[in-house]
Amino acid sequence: MKNIVGVRFKKLGKIYFFNPKQLKVKKGDNVIVETSQGIEYGEVVIPNRMVEDEKVLQPLKKILRIANYKDRKHYEECLKKEKEAFKVCQDKIKKHKLDMILTSVEYKFDDSKILFYFTADGRIDFRDLVKDLAAIYKTRIELRQIGVRDEVKRIGGNRSLW
């Protein structure tokens, strides 16, 4: 049997399972976890639970710690920066006359990169946009094109459109 904890990173996002090690967490706790994308801040939605080994995809990444005051402040700062980056990116999209709609921005908790999500009808050459954003933010920039269905999921729709 394995001890697991379910963590969600976005309000309506997918639940990911982590190894809590010796930590006892409860639903609603904020935690700092190790992910394949780096260190992230998430909310516990499934507290400590024992599960049969066969039902767990191995290896589980670890919960590093329960989030402290400094972690919460940094997370809030990331959310604030996301709003500012959204406005800056929209202005740059207009400047470059790109046929795309910016849908959201995500600052990684460890400040390793900023992700800009957008929708567009076809392929977009956004190389100059990336250069502009990298010059402003001095960090790794990723632009990810998402489909309409993905956008509906991101904003909370979970029912079929048809």
| Mean pLDDT, residues 34-53 taken together | 91
- Report whether pLDDT(87) > 70: yes
Indicate the residue type of 105.
V
- Report whether pLDDT(56) > 60: yes
- Report whether pLDDT(154) > 70: no
Q: Give the CA-trace dihedral at 26, 30, 35, 37, to 10 degrees.
A: 160
| pLDDT grade for 84, boundaries at 50, 70 and 90 | very high
What pLDDT, in 10s, does the model give residues 102-133?
999 999 999 999 999 999 998 999 999 999 99
| Mean pLDDT, residues 5-16 taken together | 90
| pLDDT grade for 54, boundaries at 50, 70 and 90 | confident
The architecture in CATH of the region 76-154 reads 2-Layer Sandwich (3.30)
**pLDDT in the model for residue 148:** 67
Which three-class secondary structure state does DSSP give residue 100?
A: coil
pTM for the model: 0.83
- Report whether pLDDT(12) > 90: no
DSSP 62: B
Which three-class secondary structure state does DSSP give residue 72?
A: helix
100-104's contacts with Cβ under 8 Å and 24+ in sequence apart are 100/124, 100/126, 100/145, 103/146, 103/151, 103/154, 104/154
Strands 113-119 and 140-145: parallel
32 or 146, which is more confident: 32
| Location of structure tokens 């933010």 | 137
- Report whether pLDDT(134) > 70: yes
- What stretches of 9-156 show up as alpha helix (H) in DSSP? 69-95, 127-137, 148-154
| pLDDT grade for 161, boundaries at 50, 70 and 90 | very low
Chain region(s) in the chain for CATH 3.30.300: 76-154
| Mean pLDDT, residues 68-82 taken together | 97
